[in-house]
Amino acid sequence: MKFIRDRILRGDLMYSIGAQLGSSLTVEMISNAGFDWTWIDCEHGSGDYSELVYQLQVARLGNSPPVVRISWNMPWLFKRVLDLGAAGIMVPYVNTAVEAEEAVQSLRYQPEGVRGVAGSPPCAGFAQQFDDYFAQANDNLTLMVQIETAQAVENASSIAAVSGVDVLFVGPLDLSVNLGIPKDFRNPRFEACLDTVVEGCRKHGKAPGILTPTLDFLPSWINRGFTVFVVGSDGTLLAKMLGDIKEKCASLSP
């Protein structure tokens, strides 16, 4: 298995496309395109565990290690996804350091966590690489916690201080809605929240991440200090491309 935690924590710029259609084919395309990691969305995405099996199989064979966004901060969700071979987990709506600590516990084996141990799942090479995986999993697996509320922003520094949290990942749409300024991503209040997250990450040696609504935001958010990005998703990119093609065809009609 390939992992990305070392690159994230040394501050490399890390780009991903989101896989939200539940398709292993788009995961393969993301890997073939050379993105640094693959974001597989099991919170708002269309796929379930039956699709996730194939998505993670493809991702493990490629060069874009998969981080799976689970639907909530529950231990049993971590266990099954990690056993299938995810290189990391993204957890939505983490508002406090206590919730971040719970996520760390769910991600890690004893003595640092409470993740259940099985010797033969895909992550362990069906028992053929269990010893190596078990010895290194706590150091290799990436934990991204999402900052999506004013409370989470207020607690950004204490969340970043939690050992085992690697990325504070802003969900811009949820955050803007919770601030009462939906999709107003250039509002000074929203931008102040971004700066607070980056400051908390810098203070504690963690990486700030964010999903970009469009690529237009990427340069300014890099300049603000963000390093981990989801820069689009399979569904939205395909829908946009189809709309553009239809518009072009319509413009050529007599």
Active site residues: 44
Residues in the chain: 254
Token pair listed for 80: 């099954």
95 Cβ neighbours under 8 A, 6+ residues apart: 149, 151, 152, 155
Between CA 84 and CA 49 the distance in angstroms is: 10
Three-class DSSP category at 233: strand
Three-class DSSP category at 210: strand
- The full DSSP string for 122-152 is GGGTTTTSHHHHHHHHHHH-EEEEEE-SHHH
Q: What is the DSSP letter of 64?
A: S
75: enclosing H helix or E strand: helix 75-83
Query: Cα angle at 13 between 11 and 18, to 5 degrees?
Result: 125
Q: Do the Cβ atoms of 220 and 198 come closer than 8 Å?
A: no
